[in-house]
């Protein structure tokens, strides 16, 4: 049965592209490229870009791009969505070229953004992403694991979990349900795709004006987490969660606010799931140490 292989890219509409450019290169260590359409592509590896910042007033997630692995699997996956009553649209050649793919399909998410489905990127370059020289290590953990993960906010948590599992076909990883105050819980459910990054997508219900709670990018060197944290503090970027560690995906990370207001998690050491041995668990804490909260994702 055809299924999503990895989360390959993310598209954001942003009101200040130049703020994103400085943030990406001077704090995170990403490479940049200016597209023919005047957008800002952020590079992590040989892909033409992994994060596309388009000019717009939303300051939020607009599209998430998923690789299906083969043309046959793409056709099978799209056909299965349609049989399931989903309104899948085939995008035109111009939009496919803009995403650096040959064929592109899209489906609207009930939480307010679009999922895009394709097979392989075109215009792949052999330059490692032309990353910023501020990085100490070899860059970012991508490849078959994709860009990292997103955590969209579900308008209806139960229905959001059902949609991501039963419609998109993502695999259940685990769940965290932490009591924050007597009778008040923070709750999130985590999903992985076929190549096994602990989660490519998670969801929960939180007070938020944003569709996206946060995006996670993973370094290949633990030192780059600490160095990015120091650069963010020096630059006066609001730190949302201090350095800490998650019990489920084993990620060492911190969270900071992006120029668009949602959060970004920069981490190291995430789990890759082996499907034959993985046993999902219910955790009662979001972090087993650290991650002290300073501010909300958005004011």
Q: Which domain holds residue 245?
A: 143-290
DSSP-derived secondary structure letter, 92: P
What pLDDT, in 10s, does the model give residues 181-205?
Answer: 888 888 999 999 999 999 999 999 8
Q: Would 205 be classed as within a structural domain?
A: yes
Q: Are residues 148 and 112 in the same domain?
A: no
What's the confidence (pLDDT) of residue 205?
87
Q: Would 130 be classed as within a structural domain?
A: no
Going by their DSSP bridges, the two strands 252-257 and 184-192 should be labelled as unpaired
Q: Are residues 43 and 113 in the same domain?
A: yes
Mean pLDDT over the full length of the chain: 96
What's the confidence (pLDDT) of residue 137?
98
Residue 160 pLDDT greater than 90, yes or no: yes
pTM attached to this predicted model = 0.97
CB atoms within 10 A of CB 234: 9
Q: Identify the CATH number of the domain in which residue 282 sits.
A: 3.10.180.10
CA distance 15 to 169: 33
Q: Are residues 109 and 181 in the same domain?
A: no
What pLDDT, in 10s, does the model give residues 22-62?
Answer: 999 999 999 999 999 999 999 999 999 999 999 999 999 99
Q: Are residues 68 and 184 in the same domain?
A: no
Q: Would 51 be classed as within a structural domain?
A: yes
Q: Are residues 110 and 28 in the same domain?
A: yes
Q: Are residues 17 and 52 in the same domain?
A: yes
Q: Are residues 158 and 111 in the same domain?
A: no
Q: Are residues 108 and 202 in the same domain?
A: no
Q: Are residues 259 and 149 in the same domain?
A: yes
Q: Are residues 148 and 114 in the same domain?
A: no
CB atoms within 10 A of CB 182: 5
What pLDDT, in 10s, does the model give residues 229-266?
Answer: 999 999 999 999 999 999 999 999 999 999 999 999 99
Going by their DSSP bridges, the two strands 60-67 and 114-118 should be labelled as parallel
Residue 85, φ and ψ in degrees, nearest 5:
85, 15
Q: Would 123 be classed as within a structural domain?
A: no
DSSP string, 117-178: EES--SS--SSTT---TT-SSS-B--GGG-S-EEEEBPSSHHHHHHIIIIIS-PEEEEEEEE
As a whole number, mean pLDDT of residues 214-223 equals 98
Task: Name the token pair of 99.
Answer: 């995403």
**How many domains does the chain divide into?**
2
Coil vs helix vs strand at 91: coil
CA distance 259 to 18: 10
Task: Name the token pair of 91.
Answer: 């995008």
Q: Are residues 107 and 192 in the same domain?
A: no
Q: Are residues 171 and 258 in the same domain?
A: yes
CA distance 160 to 5: 20
Q: Would 241 be classed as within a structural domain?
A: yes
What confidence tier does 299 reach under pLDDT thresholds 50, 70, 90? low
- Radius of gyration, CA atoms only, the chain: 18
Residue 180 pLDDT greater than 90, yes or no: no
Residue 298 pLDDT greater than 80, yes or no: no
């Amino acid at each position: 049965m055809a299924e999503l292989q990895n989360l390959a890219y993310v598209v954001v509409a942003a009101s200040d592209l130049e703020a994103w450019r400085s943030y990406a290169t001077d704090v995170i260590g990403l490479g940049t490229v200016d597209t023919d359409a005047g957008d800002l592509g952020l590079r992590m590896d040989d892909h033409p870009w992994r994060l596309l910042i388009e000019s717009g007033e939303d300051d939020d997630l607009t599209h998430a791009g998923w690789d299906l692995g083969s043309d046959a699997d793409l056709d099978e996956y799209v056909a299965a969505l349609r049989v399931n009553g989903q309104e899948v649209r085939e995008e035109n050649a111009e939009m496919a070229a803009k995403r650096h793919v040959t064929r592109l399909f899209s489906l609207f998410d009930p939480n307010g953004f679009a999922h895009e489905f394709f097979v392989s990127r075109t215009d792949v370059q052999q330059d490692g992403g032309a990353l910023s020289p501020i990085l100490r290590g070899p860059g970012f953990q991508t490849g078959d694991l994709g860009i990292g993960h997103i955590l969209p906010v579900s308008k209806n948590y139960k229905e959001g979990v059902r949609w991501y599992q039963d419609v998109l076909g993502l695999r259940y990883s685990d769940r965290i349900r932490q009591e924050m105050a007597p009778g008040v819980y923070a709750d999130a459910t985590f999903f992985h795709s076929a190549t096994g990054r602990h989660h490519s997508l998670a969801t929960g219900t939180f007070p938020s004006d944003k569709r996206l709670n946060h995006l996670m990018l993973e370094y290949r060197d633990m030192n780059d987490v600490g160095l990015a944290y120091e650069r963010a503090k020096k630059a006066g970027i609001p730190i949302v969660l201090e350095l800490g560690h998650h019990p489920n995906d084993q990620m060492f990370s911190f969270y900071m606010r992006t120029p668009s207001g949602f959060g970004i998690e920069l981490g190291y050491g995430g789990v890759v799931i082996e499907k034959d041995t993985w046993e999902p668990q219910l955790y009662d804490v979001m972090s087993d140490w650290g991650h002290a909260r300073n501010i909300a994702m958005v004011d």
